[in-house]
Amino acid sequence: MTRLELVIFAVCLLLVIAGVGVSVGLWVGLEQAFMAALTAALVYVTAAYAFFTFRIVKISDKQASIMSEAQVNSAAPVVMLEASYNEGTSETEIAVSWKNIGKGPALNFRCWVEDKECPDLRVPRKAICRTAVEVALSENMCTGLIHTEIPGYRLGVGYIRAQYESIFNRTYESCLLYFENAAPELKYGEATERIIL
C-alpha cells in the first residue's frame, strides 16, 4: 500500500465513521450512533482488506508466471540449419547440417522440406528424424540427407523446416528460407502448429 493509498484509506474511514455516526445519531441516541459507526468502520476496513489482498494475489500470480516462463525459456533448444547440394550426393538429395545452439536438448527432432508444390515431401521416409539433438559443445555440425526422390529438385518455393520439443514439452521450429538472389534466412521460434511426420 502506497502512502497516498494509506491517506485515502484513513480519510475515507473517518468519513464513514462520522457520516454514519451523525446520521444515526439524529434519529436515535448517542450510544446507538456509536455502535453503528463502529460497525460501518469494520465493514469498510474488511472491504479494503479484501481489495488489497486481491491485488497482492494478482501481482504475485503475475510474478510467478513470469518466473515460470523464464525457467521454460532458459532451457529452450535453438537449432541452426544449413543446407547444400554436395557433389557427393545424388541429384534427388539435399544435405542438411544442424547444430543445437540453445540451452537445452532438442527432443524428437524432425527435419524435412516444406513445399506447397510438392506436399509429398512431408513424410518420415524423406525426412531426417532423431530422438534428441544435444546442446553443441563444439563448432561441428551434424549432417544428414533429405531424400526428395525428385530428380534435380532445388529449394526455391520450398524451404527446410525442423521441429523439436524442449524438456518442458513445448514445440519449437527452425526454418531455413530461400529467396531468389539472396542468402538463405534462418527463422526460429515457438511452433504455431505441431506437425507429426
At 87 the pLDDT is 58
Domain total in the chain: 2
Looking at 45, 74, 103, which one is the last position of a domain?
A: 74
> Looking at residue 88, what is its pLDDT?
57
Q: What is the CATH classification number for the domain harbouring 124?
A: 2.60.40
Establish if 195 belongs to a structural domain. Answer: no
Beta bridge partners of residue 83, listed in sequence order: 96
pLDDT, average across residues 39-62: 91
Q: Residue 75's pLDDT is what?
A: 86
Point out the least confidently predicted range of 53-67, 137-151, 159-173. 137-151
Whether 23 and 63 map to the same domain: the answer is: yes
Q: Find cell 522440406 and name the residue.
A: 113
169 Rama sector, left if φ>0, alpha if ψ -120 to 50, beta otherwise: left
Say yes or no to pLDDT of 166 above 90. yes
Q: Is residue 93 part of a domain?
A: yes
Shared domain check, 183 and 103? yes
Is the domain of 182 the same as that of 136?
yes
Q: Are residues 119 and 37 in the same domain?
A: no
| Strand-pair category, 159-165 with 142-147 | unpaired
- The torsion of the CA quartet 29, 32, 33, 36, rounded to 10 degrees, works out to -160
pLDDT tens, position by position, 4-34: 888 888 888 888 888 888 888 777 877 788 8
Range scoring the smallest mean pLDDT among 30-34, 61-65, 85-89: 85-89
- The torsion angle over the Cα atoms of residues 86, 87, 91 and 94, rounded to 10 degrees, is -10
Q: Which of 17, 43, 74 is the last residue of a domain?
A: 74
**Higher pLDDT residue, 62 or 71?**
62
- Tell me, yes or no, whether 145 and 163 share the same domain: yes
